[in-house]
């Protein structure tokens, strides 16, 4: 590209200090900036598309596959366990998006620009959490509703469909959004803590998906409680009409536990963030 070098040296003269206009990097502005950041990179579009397509697609697929079996009574499972089944996989995208929102700042070095613009680090973290959480709440709810409608369509064809006023159905529709939003924040916390995309995604998947199943192998009551309290297990119940595992915490109790764990993670990440060199 050609750049006009010498004639471009005109820097607009500094306006005389205008004291009426006392600009402030207020929280609202930092939030606006963080929201602008999230919506202007393609990774956001990609992860959210994946979240939607995988969740809705897999739910449709499994419901289409098991509806006949369920109708014939060939399985002990209830239709409610399948109605949003795809979210189990789609949720990985929410976790990854949360991680990226934090870790991409470090992999690109942009964290320095971010903190030069808004040096109050707790405000930056909070703004990121609001922007990400809000986005995932809306798209997560849409995903959850679309998954349910798709899955339920196939279940309904075999006469095992659910009605909106069946127990847990409404809770599931909104719970999906809540769960995905908090899961994204969990990823944000991990990303902030580890400052490395691959590392944080690996740890996140291990904590949410792998360890959640493995701790069940610990014998006795300890194993039972660990299973109940692992973040993925505790939080996931709110996003399904009925859980495959009957020993998990009650959906809302579980969600409260998961939110608490996420808050704790963000708190630790925030303390380190505000202390560490950028």
Rule CB under 8 A: which residues touch other proteins? 1, 3-6, 8-15, 22-26, 29-30, 32-34, 36-37, 40-43, 104-105, 108-110, 112-113, 115-120, 275, 277-278
Is 82 within 8 Å of 151 (Cβ atoms)? yes
Characterize 34-69 residue by residue with b for buried, 16 or more Cβ atoms within 10 angstroms of its Cβ, and e for exposed.
bbebbeeeeebeebbebbbebbbebbbebbbebbee
We find the least distance from the C-beta atom of residue 28 to other proteins, in angstroms, to be: 9
Which one, 114 or 141, has the nearer CB to other proteins? 114
Which one, 217 or 275, has the nearer CB to other proteins? 275
DSSP string for 159-189? T----TTSTTHHHHHHHHHHHHHHHHHHHHH
We find the least distance from the C-beta atom of residue 11 to other proteins, in angstroms, to be: 6
Q: Please give the structure tokens belonging to residue 70.
A: 């369920």
Cα 25 to Cα 115, 122, 130, 151, 160, distances in angstroms = 11, 13, 17, 46, 55
Which one, 28 or 74, has the nearer CB to other proteins? 28
Q: Please give the structure tokens belonging to residue 247.
A: 């020993």
Is 150 within 8 Å of 94 (Cβ atoms)? no
Which one, 18 or 165, has the nearer CB to other proteins? 18
We find the least distance from the C-beta atom of residue 253 to other proteins, in angstroms, to be: 39
We find the least distance from the C-beta atom of residue 101 to other proteins, in angstroms, to be: 11
We find the least distance from the C-beta atom of residue 53 to other proteins, in angstroms, to be: 21
Which one, 101 or 203, has the nearer CB to other proteins? 101
We find the least distance from the C-beta atom of residue 274 to other proteins, in angstroms, to be: 10
Q: Alpha-carbon distance 48 to 135, whole Å?
A: 10
We find the least distance from the C-beta atom of residue 1 to other proteins, in angstroms, to be: 6
Is 140 within 8 Å of 146 (Cβ atoms)? no
Q: Alpha-carbon distance 160 to 123, whole Å?
A: 49
């Amino acid at each position: 590209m050609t750049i006009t070098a010498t004639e471009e040296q005109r820097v607009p003269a500094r306006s005389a200090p205008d004291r009426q206009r006392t600009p402030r990097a207020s929280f609202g502005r930092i939030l606006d900036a963080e929201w602008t950041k999230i919506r202007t990179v393609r990774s956001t579009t990609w992860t959210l598309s994946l979240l939607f397509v995988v969740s809705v697609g897999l739910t449709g697929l499994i419901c289409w596959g098991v509806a006949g079996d369920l109708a014939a009574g060939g399985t002990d499972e209830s239709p409610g366990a399948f109605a949003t089944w795809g979210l189990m996989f789609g949720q990985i995208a929410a976790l990854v998006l949360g991680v990226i929102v934090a870790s991409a700042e470090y992999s690109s070095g942009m964290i320095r620009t971010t903190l030069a613009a808004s040096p109050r680090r707790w405000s930056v973290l909070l703004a990121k959490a609001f922007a990400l959480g809000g986005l995932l709440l809306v798209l997560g709810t849409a995903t959850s509703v679309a998954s349910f409608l798709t899955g339920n369509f196939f279940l309904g064809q075999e006469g095992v469909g659910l009605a909106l006023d069946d127990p847990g159905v409404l809770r599931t529709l909104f719970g999906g959004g809540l769960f995905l939003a908090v899961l994204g924040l969990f990823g944000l916390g991990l990303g902030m803590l580890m400052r490395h995309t691959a590392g944080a995604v690996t740890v996140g998947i291990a904590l949410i998906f792998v360890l959640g199943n493995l701790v069940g192998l610990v014998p006795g009551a300890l194993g039972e409680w660990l299973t109940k309290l692992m973040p993925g297990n505790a939080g996931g119940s709110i996003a399904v009409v009925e859980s495959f595992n009957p020993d998990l915490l009650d959906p809302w109790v579980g969600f409260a536990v998961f939110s608490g764990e996420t808050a704790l993670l963000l708190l630790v990440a925030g303390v380190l963030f505000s202390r560490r060199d950028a």
